[in-house]
A and B are shown apart, each in its own frame.
Chain A
Amino acid sequence: MMAVHLPYEHKYLRHKKKFPHVWCPGCGIGILMGSIIRAIIDLDWKKDDVVVSSGIGCTSRMPVYLDFNTLHTTHGRALAFSTGVKLANPTLKVITVMGDGDALAIGGNHIIHTARRNMDMTAIVVNNNNYGMTGGQFSPTTPEGARTSTTPYGMMEPNFDVCDLMSGAGATFVARGTVYHVMELDRIFKRAMEKKGFSVVEVLSPCPTSFGRANNQADPVDMMESLRDDTVTVKQATKMKQQDLEGKILRGIFRDVDVPEYLDRYEELCQRARERLEMNQ
């Protein structure tokens, strides 16, 4: 059982300066922002050491509310900014928050190469199945057949599985949670953040205003119940029959491997370079 820290989250917010926030009623981003804070509290990270960067979109508005070092950058590029921050000061704890369009469409190239490099950072991909901020256009995670403002006849393209994509690209920790399963999400975030290496967490989060309304789920409670009913944990799935798993989305940790980390490798490279220089002198 994890300790409950409810009163403490507020100490990690710029609550007197930046609230009320921009998110719609029923949006899940605030819930997972609480999870991020609780994970940081549990890890006992100092606020001054934490950098949160983001791109553009609903999720990417998150850093301004958080009392850390926060960078709100350009659409899709947040992980590249984070890479610069972490490399230039490896003592900082770097978390990148992005939406599904931000991370996987315009930022697709950055996220796969960040995964390949394996730098000690955490990326959080908030998947609400569409571009919420711009009015609910389809994203690379919009399910086939779903209606969005740019797929009025239903989504024609296949979608990405974020966790498969990240595992394939070499991320050393890959997990999925939902904003319905908050305690589980707290634990997943903590595991991801303490992982030495590049960790990615996909978080399923409802967007009733844009995606829900277009798909007969305008009621936020319906969307939350879908997260409850349509997902099963990796552990539960092992005990289920194949036909019962049809249409279910898995939650939990899909990959957790130990691979030499980028900054450690770079330090080794520097050591070799210095030795060679001394030999030549």
Chain B
Amino acid sequence: MKTDPAGVLTGTHYFDGDWACGEGAMAAGCRFVAGYPITPSTEVVERISGRFPTMGGTFIQMEDELGSMAAVVGAAWTGTKCMTVTSGPGFSLMMENIGLGAMMETPCVVVNVQRGGPSTGLPTMTGQADIMQARWGSHGDYELISLSPQSPQEAFDLVIEAFNLSELYRVPVMFMMDECVGHMTEKVIIPPAEEIEIVQRKLSDKSPEEYLPYDFEGKEIPEIIRAGDGYRFHTTGLTHDKRGYPVMSAECQEFNVRHLVDKIRQNADDIVRYDEEQIDGADVVVIAYGITARVTRMAIDMAREKGVKVGFMRLIVVWPFPEKRIRELAGNVKGFVVPEINYGQVVLEVERCAAGKSTTVGVPHGGGGVHDPEVILEAIMGAAQ
């Protein structure tokens, strides 16, 4: 369906990634944002707090990130599209209620403008070290979706996709920016509202007597309802049956938690998204995401000038991981090179999928800056040997 034009600031703008992300959320139909100030994400909520009151949206600055994530999950159950915005330390605090969002199967978007960590780390400088936390940072078993934009334009475009995926699969979607993309200012084109396709959760049309909040077959996504519409549902963080009522048994755990995992794993082919460049006949494939993808391009150009056949795979959706594609490539290429601004997170997944058929070389960076393309080049040259 087409989006509500009230949230769409059609035109050509000069925005940083944070503002572009905020505009993208509003264009996607987000009308509830709860946040707590934290560098380098604050500009997203600053933008939204100025714009929301003119379009029927609600922004609240909560007392902490635990409260922000809680308010978002609560608001989502009224049928509203919701988002919260944070960075590493706040992301850690949100984990408890991200888990609840996963357990209750609540559509919402969590933006993490990543900075250097651990702990307080480098508040104003970039990092990509929360990418594994985005996958399994909360306790227990579940699967979520994570996206990683490489530019302000993509922060706008992709956050709309984040909302669409959250509505479609009833999950919190992690929007994993990095400080560089968040604070980089570039041209951002916002199309007219009639060109923006959005997904709106389908509210159940069953009668309240028939409706069950967690009724599904296989990889189906259960139908959702909202508070106030006469369904008088119960939802809980406890292991629950089809009715949403707690049942403390291994059988119910299998029913409940297996579904949380399977609804993403079994639909992964539809969710996974990446760009590929010159993969055919490549000896080396570089896999990168976010700001690192842009730095990688320069290293690839340099390697090609030296005659190395280098392909490029840019992860747009990081989780679920494009396992199938990497397994296909493994054995056909000599090596994978994985630069990322951490000491090795996504590289481990690449190595697992390569399963010894190709070598996998990580190019770690501790954060606070981006890679020197020469360092990535060196890894490419090594892998091409």
Q: B-contacting residues of A (Cβ < 8 Å)?
A: 14, 17-18, 47-49, 51, 53, 63-64, 67-74, 76-77, 80-85, 87-89, 91-92, 109-110, 113, 266, 269-270, 272-274, 277
Q: A46 to nearest B CB, angstroms?
A: 9
Measured CB to CB, the nearest residue on chain A to B81 is A88
Contact B32 A87 (CB under 8 A): yes
Chain B residues near A274 (CB-CB < 8 A): 53-54
Chain B residues near A91 (CB-CB < 8 A): 228
Q: Which of A73, A76, A87, A272 contacts B75 (CB 8 A)?
A: A87
Q: A185 to nearest B CB, angstroms?
A: 24
Chain A residues near B56 (CB-CB < 8 A): 270
Complex alpha-carbon distance, A81 and B75, angstroms: 7
Chain A residues near B80 (CB-CB < 8 A): 88-89
- Besides A68-B232, A82-B74, A273-B50, 9 other A-B contacts (C-beta < 8 A): A69-B228, A70-B235, A72-B238, A73-B74, A76-B66, A81-B71, A84-B71, A85-B78, A87-B75
Measured CB to CB, the nearest residue on chain B to A14 is B234
Chain B residues near A64 (CB-CB < 8 A): 234, 236, 245-246
Complex alpha-carbon distance, A51 and B233, angstroms: 10
Contact A113 B228 (CB under 8 A): no
Stretch in B57-65, B279-287, B290-298, B368-376 with 4+ CB within 8 Å of A:
B57-65
Known contacts A48-B232, A69-B232, A84-B72: A89-B227 contact under CB 8 Å: yes
Contact A273 B64 (CB under 8 A): no
Measured CB to CB, the nearest residue on chain A to B51 is A273
Q: A-contacting residues of B (Cβ < 8 Å)?
A: 31-32, 34, 50, 53-54, 56, 58, 60, 62-64, 66-68, 70-80, 82, 96-97, 100, 226-238, 243, 245-246
Known contacts A63-B234, A89-B80, A274-B53: A84-B70 contact under CB 8 Å: yes
Measured CB to CB, the nearest residue on chain A to B63 is A113
Measured CB to CB, the nearest residue on chain B to A76 is B66
Q: Which of B97, B231, B234 contacts A77 (CB 8 A)?
A: B97
Chain A residues near B73 (CB-CB < 8 A): 73, 81, 84
Contact A109 B63 (CB under 8 A): yes
Contact B60 A87 (CB under 8 A): yes
Contact A49 B228 (CB under 8 A): yes
Chain A residues near B62 (CB-CB < 8 A): 80, 83, 113
